[in-house]
Structure 1
């Protein structure tokens, strides 16, 4: 009788542990099972926008690393198209930039990821232009919804007045069939935003805000 009671108790405890494991997974790791690809814009021969000795490609990578960490904390499996200062063009390519973008698109498409996020900085001849903004291509039906949700988070937490915008002129995003958007996280040509975007704490804030948008998007799925 005692052995029977012990066996029943063990089975009960095992079931309780299993329940708690899955319950914790759902609550603490809401992105568990999601695959997300981050594309740090530019790199290598293509530095992107430049202000004096500050390269967009460098800041894109730093912010992408911060974003990767935040998404992983939520349980996502995260990959990036580049992990250093290099481009993805094939050797001896006639047009290295187009080769680079084509390879990025192919990598993201083949991954069959649940979401991709392309991280960039904006630039303008006027130093007064500022604000983070999301761009999307209508190649995937989910893209506008993603852009809308993330832009709302940017407005709420980074105080941008910009609206998300459709674009059909970006070579990479016309070719990526997976759901995703391009996020211009600020203007490298704006003194205030340039100062902030170089700071680790602000890069972490940007990453947290984007992650918040990602969480809200998957809540709608």
Structure 2
């Protein structure tokens, strides 16, 4: 009789453990969505006929897109609505001839502003004639105090990952100067530095960068109320 009771008790415990076992997938779905109702645009630099910085067979435009896709995934996991200015190996003119940097940048600015986003991030990789030069760096438009604060928050979040000794810096880049949307340009590292090139080609490092940049964005947006979404119009390529 005692053995029967013990068997029944063990079976009952096993059933309870099975029924009430935490569902990992459910926990992930119910995780705190810290960027809900936030709209963020990611601008993967270069593309198409414009490869950006090249070192051997390593192309900046391809890595910019990979880092941007990792960043998009991370931001969406936190509840943000995320748009990319490009999601393939094309610039925004979609021309395979007579590449025009001016036209490409004009279309990027129009597309970024069309989403009425909380902010945008332009992702790039750096290059130098001095191979020992290294470190991530965040640029902002000098006349925008809000962009400077965003640059500071992202820089501070990236520093433990990249180890950079560089400081944020104001710049007159077209994509920063001509957008109405608050934004920064992030140089994730130098392709011309052997150590950084290896890191920047790694999908695991892309994930680390994505988490760090997202942390900086989260810190910044915690101080700012969400923008009011407005209807957007598609940006057509120039003929």
* Residue of structure 1 in register with 2:192 after alignment: 189
Q: Does the 8 A contact of 2:139 with 2:186 survive in 1?
A: yes
Asked if 1:153 is matched to 2:157, the reply is yes
TM-superposition CA deviations, 1:151-182 (whole Å, max 9, x none): 111223321111000012x1222111101100
Given that 2:131 and 2:193 are in contact with CA atoms closer than 8 Å, whether structure 1 keeps it comes out as yes
Question: What residue in structure 2 maps to residue 32 of structure 1?
Answer: 36
TM-score, normalising length from structure 2? 0.78
CA contact (8 A) 1:89 1:97 kept: no
Deviations 1:42-73 (A, max 9, x none): 00010000001111000000000000000000
Cα 1:139–1:102 shift into 2, 3 Å = farther
Equivalent of residue 110 in structure 1, options 102, 111, 114 = 114
**Does residue 181 of structure 2 align to residue 178 of structure 1?**
yes
Unaligned runs of 5+ in 1: 1-23
Q: Deviations over 1:89-108 (max 9, x none)?
A: 27599761110010000011
Q: Does the aligned pair in 2 maintain the 1:58–1:85 contact within 8 Å?
A: yes
Indicate how the Cα distance of structure 1 residues 123 and 32 shifts in structure 2: closer, same or farther if over 3 A, else same. same
Query: Displaced runs of 4+ in structure 1, greater than 4 A?
Result: 24-27, 90-95
Match of residue 165, structure 1, among 166, 169, 183: 169
Q: What SS does structure 2 have at the residue aligned with 1:118? A: strand
Given that 1:26 and 1:32 are in contact with CA atoms closer than 8 Å, whether structure 2 keeps it comes out as no
CA contact (8 A) 1:117 1:181 kept: yes
**Cα separation, 1, equivalents of 2:90 and 2:102:** 14
Structure 2 residue aligned with 1:219, among 202, 217, 222?
222
What stretches of structure 2 of length at least 5 have no aligned partner?
A: 1-27, 225-239
Structure 1 partner of 2:126: 122
- Decide which structure has the larger Cα Rg and report it: 2
RMSD: 2.0
- Residue 100 (str. 1) matches residue 104 (str. 2): yes
Equivalent of residue 80 in structure 2, options 72, 76, 87? 76
CA contact (8 A) 1:72 1:78 kept: yes
Alignment: residue pair count: 197
The CA deviation at 1:123 is: 0.3
Q: TM-score scaled by structure 1?
A: 0.84
In 2, Cα distance between the equivalents of 1:120 and 1:176?
A: 17
Report whether the alignment pairs 1:206 with 2:227: no
> Whole-Å Cα distance in 2 between the matches of residues 185 and 90 of structure 1?
25
Matched, 1:45 2:49: yes
> Is the Cα contact below 8 Å between 1:90 and 1:99 reproduced in 2?
no
User: Whole-Å Cα distance in 1 between the matches of residues 58 and 98 of structure 2?
Assistant: 27
